[in-house]
């Protein structure tokens, strides 16, 4: 397996333990939306308004059921590359309602490097891309 891309994959820099309630709060407050499939491609979780065409009925179904034909072929290629260990992530951008959306898929691997599924995140980066210099002062 190739070296993990910085920021992707499991981290050895973990400390502490979150309760289920804390995990839920963290996910709900992340500045991004996410979906998770297991190693068979079954959708097990999603959260966020950018997944507007998702509905709770998709949980437990194959990820193909949630995507159009064009997306299905790309997701199949990503899933295969992730399972084979030749890639860890795929990054896309799209424009939606004049907003720039960053879409990132990454392989989920356990401590042994075994493929356990895939995570998709979507983040509106419209304001982020216009940032310049540093900002270290609380100004509100």
Q: Where along the chain do its domains lie? A: 20-130
d(CA 66, CA 43): 9
Per-residue pLDDT at 107? 96
d(CA 112, CA 103): 26
Per-residue pLDDT at 135? 87
CATH of region 20-130, choose from 3.40.50.150, 3.10.20.90, 3.40.50.2300, 3.30.450.20: 3.30.450.20
Give, in degrees to the nearest 5, the angle at Cα 134 between 131 and 137.
110
Q: Are 89 and 119 in contact (CB under 8 A)?
A: no
Per-residue pLDDT at 87? 95
Which residues of the chain are under the pLDDT cut of 70? Answer: 1-12, 50-56
Of 58, 34, 38, which Cα lies nearest the Cα of 47?
Answer: 34
3-class SS string, the chain: CCCCCCCCCCCCCCCCCCCHHHHHHHHHHCCCEEEEEECCCEEEEEECCCCCCCCHHHCCCEHHHHCCHHHHHHHHHHHHHHHHCCCCEEEEEEEECCEEEEEEEEEEECCCCCEEEEEEEEEECCCHHHCCCCCCCCCC
pTM: 0.81
């Amino acid at each position: 397996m190739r070296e993990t891309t910085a920021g992707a994959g499991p981290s050895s820099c973990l400390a502490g333990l979150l309760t289920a309630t804390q995990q839920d709060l963290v996910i709900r407050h992340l500045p991004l939306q996410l979906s998770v499939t297991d190693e068979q491609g079954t959708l097990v979780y999603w959260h966020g308004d950018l997944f507007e065409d998702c509905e709770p009925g998709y949980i437990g179904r194959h990820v193909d059921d949630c995507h159009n034909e064009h997306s299905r072929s790309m997701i199949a290629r990503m899933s295969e590359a992730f399972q084979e260990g030749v890639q860890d992530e795929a990054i896309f951008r799209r424009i939606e309602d004049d907003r720039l959306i960053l879409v990132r898929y990454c392989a989920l691997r356990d401590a042994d490097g075994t493929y356990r599924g895939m995570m998709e995140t979507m983040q509106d980066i419209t304001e982020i891309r216009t940032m310049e210099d540093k900002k270290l002062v609380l100004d509100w």
